[in-house]
Structure 1
Amino acid sequence: MFFKQKPRRISRELALLSLSQIKGSAVKFEQKELSNLVLAAIRTLTTEGQDILESAAAEITRSHERLLKSEIQAADVQSAKTMVSEAIELAKGAINRLVYAIELPETIQLSSQHEVREYTLELIETVCRRRFEIDQQLDSVLVDWHLSRLPKIDRDILRIAAAEILFLKIPHKVSINEAVEIAKRYSDDEGYRFINGVLRRLTEHLRKSTSTKDST
């Protein structure tokens, strides 16, 4: 069963893809420039859909080849089991890719809606305009790391979530969960777990800071 995508999740994804196109530490853009960034992000999604379908087809082909080898080349039962397991994993990977590919047309269609565009632009503007404050807050909760050393995709996911938490009044839990879901798609297992931990430390730090202020 497939579920309708949430407009704001699409906005976050478009903002992430748009930020990936920005070189350096730009802090201000004209509305036309922002719109061009979002348009380029949508085109990236369109291209990605074709790439995903091609990758899924290749995985299905490799899965079929593994199954054939298990029948005619396996030296023993254990070898056959191993080949079948490999075939199953490849097939699972192809199915996961296809699920995402099926969602893409809806994502692209919703990207043109005013609500989605408006929040996408708000995210990009906030991240760019408040970059120093966002990075300062994130660096304060990083353990044995510095933000500049992280992969750009992970930095931008963290910045989007931090922008929501610090300046856009989005509930902490919502921002963290959305950041983790996006990281699962664009980062790796280590990346999304790291992002989850950083954002949880950030919200805990903010909670303690608020409690301290309230008690004084």
Structure 2
Amino acid sequence: MKPAERRRARQFAVQAVYQWQITKGPVGQIIEQFSVDQDFSKTDVPYFKELLAGVVSRIETIDEKLSPYLSRKIGDVDMVDIAILRLAMFELSYRTDVPHKVVLNEAIELAKDFATDESYKFVNGVLDKALRSLKLRGE
């Protein structure tokens, strides 16, 4: 696994989660569409699939974990921002092999790439609060 391939997997996963949030379409169909429409060379494709499927299959749990750290309801958060936050919370909760620092940094970079100019600050603040709380609880 190369870091650049994981980064591309996360970039595609944020886009796919965003699409799922809008369409609620089947994950398999979204994966198929991405495999046709996107250049997956130099991408950790299994990780992309795991991220998308993991976020969608655990959406309620992920949202419950995120909610205490948001200043507003999940439905009121920008759709790109919440896609990034859901992806990051999935990694923090279910991919314990990925260091927290990497998850936080990658989420900030995704916000800079895909969201509004100030979104990275929001994403950083939410995930920083979540990480501090998770560490205090020993998770």
TM-score by length of 2: 0.87
Would you say the 8 A contact 1:17–1:41 is kept in 2? no
8 Å CA contact 1:134, 1:162 repeated in 2: yes
Letter in 1 for 2:18: S
Contact kept, 8 Å, 2:108 with 2:120, in 1: the verdict is: yes
User: Which digits, 9 at most, give the CA deviation of each residue in 1:104-143, with x for residues without a partner?
Assistant: xxxx3xx235x6111000000110011001111110112x
Q: Give the stretch that moved more between structures: 186-195 or 171-180.
A: 186-195
3-state SS of paired residue (1:19): helix
- Deviation track 1:2-37 (CA, whole Å, cap 9, x = no partner) reads xx971000000001111222246849634xx24324
Gaps of 5+ in 2: none
Q: Percent identity?
A: 30
CA RMSD of aligned residues (A): 2.3
For residue 185 of structure 1, the aligned residue among 101, 107, 113 is 113
Residue correspondence of structure 1 range 20-59 to structure 2 within 5 A: 20-23=18-21, 26=24, 29-30=27-28, 33-39=29-35, 42=38
Query: Separation in 2 of the partners of 1:127 and 1:41?
Result: 21
Paired residue for 1:167? 94
Contact 1:18 1:40 in 2 (8 A): no
> d(CA) in 2 for partners of 1:182 and 1:166?
18
2:72 counterpart (145, 157, 162):
145
Q: Is the 8 A contact 2:104 2:124 kept in 1?
A: yes
Structure 1 runs not aligned, ≥5 long: 43-107, 212-216
Residue number among 177, 180, 202 corresponding to 2:130 in the alignment: 202
Mapped to 2, the partners of 1:23 and 1:197 lie a distance apart of 22
| Greater fraction of residues in helix | 1
Structure 2: distance between partners of 1:199 and 1:130: 18
**Aligned counterpart, 1:77:** none
- Provide the residue aligned with 2:7 in structure 1: 9
TM-score for both structures, normalised by structure 1: 0.57
- Give 3-state SS (helix, strand or coil) of 1:189's partner: coil
The answer on whether the counterparts of 1:141 and 1:202 sit within 8 Å (CA) in structure 2 is yes
Q: Kindly tell me the number of residue pairs found equivalent between the two proteins.
A: 137
Q: Amino acid of the residue matched to residue 201 of structure 1?
A: K
